[in-house]
């Protein structure tokens, strides 16, 4: 019980204490059960990749897609990534899972290209745990070699917190990836805790404006102001800007009026299984009436 309380205290941050309560152990048990079934999920191939298209505002064409992980639990149904990725990170399971996502996305994108579908990059979310691995570059390069996907069709999504460490090592690492042809997007822009200096140090090609800013525009004047400032900042730094979580025509209009380049959101399509993504790629554009 003391161990459970200690675990709970650590989980809530540094310099804390907790008294044991029975609810803690049920939470701990639940976590343990989830951990066990996540291990099994990896072996039993219960994890699945969904794909969400990204659209260029000017043309209505699909210019990219993001890979989003799903866990189809036999009893609990679909478990969203926000529920199991933190657990996968704590247990180290994120490394085999992340490697599988990387391999599978490169393989799938190459397969679509070989079928004659449009050649577009696939974006993969990297966890901070993966980013800290010293063999990350080799792992990615190996996935590209083994699947035959050209590096320019792979984008890695990082978050601001991962780039807080502007060490020479990280700057060199990202530059090495750029030389290989792999590009970087900055995910959830504006939500992390960091200074902006990393924006000029790291070779980042795209800024992804977080959906929390998009949700209530144009009514929410402060978020609208943050979005238009982020678009100008990104453009001045030579980046492409993509808005996440665009659900309404109003939000779309705002993005278009403020020279945002690209959109990702339910207005066009949710993240879909590979068969549905393939159909979208065959069409190569999404509802142009919206434009």
Within residues 120-149, the interface with ligand C2E by CB under 6 A covers 125, 127
- Alpha-carbon gap, residue 284 to 264, rounded angstroms: 15
160, interface contact from Mg ion, ligand C2E, none, CB < 5-8 Å by kind: none
Residue 167, interface with ligand C2E (CB under 6 A)?
A: no
Please provide residue 155's backbone torsions phi and psi, each rounded to the nearest 5 degrees: -125, 140
Window of 10-18, 36-44, 95-103, 155-163 that interacts with Mg ion by CB under 5 A: 155-163
Largest CA distance in the chain: 61
Among 104, 155, 188, 261, the residue binding ligand C2E under the rule CB under 6 A is 188
Q: Which of 209, 203, 204 is nearest to 224 (CA)?
A: 209
- Alpha-carbon gap, residue 139 to 4, rounded angstroms: 36
Among 104, 155, 160, 244, the residue binding ligand C2E under the rule CB under 6 A is 244
Query: In the complex, what is the shortest distance from the CB of residue 42 to ligand C2E, in angstroms, rounded to a whole number?
Result: 13
| Partner residues linked to 156 by β-bridges | 124, 184
Among 104, 155, 160, 188, the residue binding Mg ion under the rule CB under 5 A is 188
Using CA atoms of 81, 82, 87, 89 in order, give the dihedral in degrees to the nearest 10: 80
271, interface contact from ligand C2E, Mg ion, none, CB < 5-8 Å by kind: ligand C2E
- Alpha-carbon gap, residue 241 to 205, rounded angstroms: 9
Within residues 66-95, the interface with ligand C2E by CB under 6 A covers 67-69, 80-82, 85
* Positions that interact with ligand C2E (CB under 6 A): 52, 67-69, 80-82, 85, 101, 125, 127, 157, 187-188, 211, 244-247, 264-266, 271
């Amino acid at each position: 019980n003391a161990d459970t309380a200690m675990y709970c205290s650590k989980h809530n941050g540094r310099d804390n204490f907790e008294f044991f309560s029975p609810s803690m152990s049920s939470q701990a048990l639940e976590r343990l059960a989830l951990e066990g079934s996540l291990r099994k999920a990896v072996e039993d191939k219960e994890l699945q990749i969904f794909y969400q298209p990204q659209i260029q505002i000017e043309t209505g064409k699909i210019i990219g897609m993001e890979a989003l992980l799903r866990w189809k639990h036999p009893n609990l149904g679909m478990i969203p990534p926000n529920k199991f990725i933190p657990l996968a990170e704590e247990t180290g399971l994120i490394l085999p899972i992340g490697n599988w996502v990387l391999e599978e996305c490169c393989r799938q994108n190459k397969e679509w290209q070989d079928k004659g579908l449009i050649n577009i990059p696939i974006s993969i979310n990297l966890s901070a745990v993966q980013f800290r691995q010293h063999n990350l570059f080799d792992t990615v390069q190996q996935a590209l070699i083994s699947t035959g996907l050209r590096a320019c069709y792979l984008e890695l999504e990082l978050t601001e917190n991962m780039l807080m460490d502007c060490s020479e090592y990280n700057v060199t690492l990202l530059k090495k990836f750029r030389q290989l042809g792999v590009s970087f997007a900055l995910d959830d822009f504006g939500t992390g805790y960091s200074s902006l200096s990393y924006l000029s140090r790291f070779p980042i090609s795209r800024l992804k404006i977080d959906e929390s800013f998009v949700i209530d525009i144009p009514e929410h004047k402060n978020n609208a102001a943050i979005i238009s400032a982020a678009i100008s900042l990104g453009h001045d730094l030579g980046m492409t800007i993509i808005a996440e979580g665009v659900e309404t025509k109003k939000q779309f209009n705002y993005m278009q009026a403020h020279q945002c380049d690209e959109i990702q959101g339910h207005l066009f399509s949710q993240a879909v299984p590979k068969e549905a993504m393939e159909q979208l790629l065959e069409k190569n554009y999404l509802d142009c009436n919206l434009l």
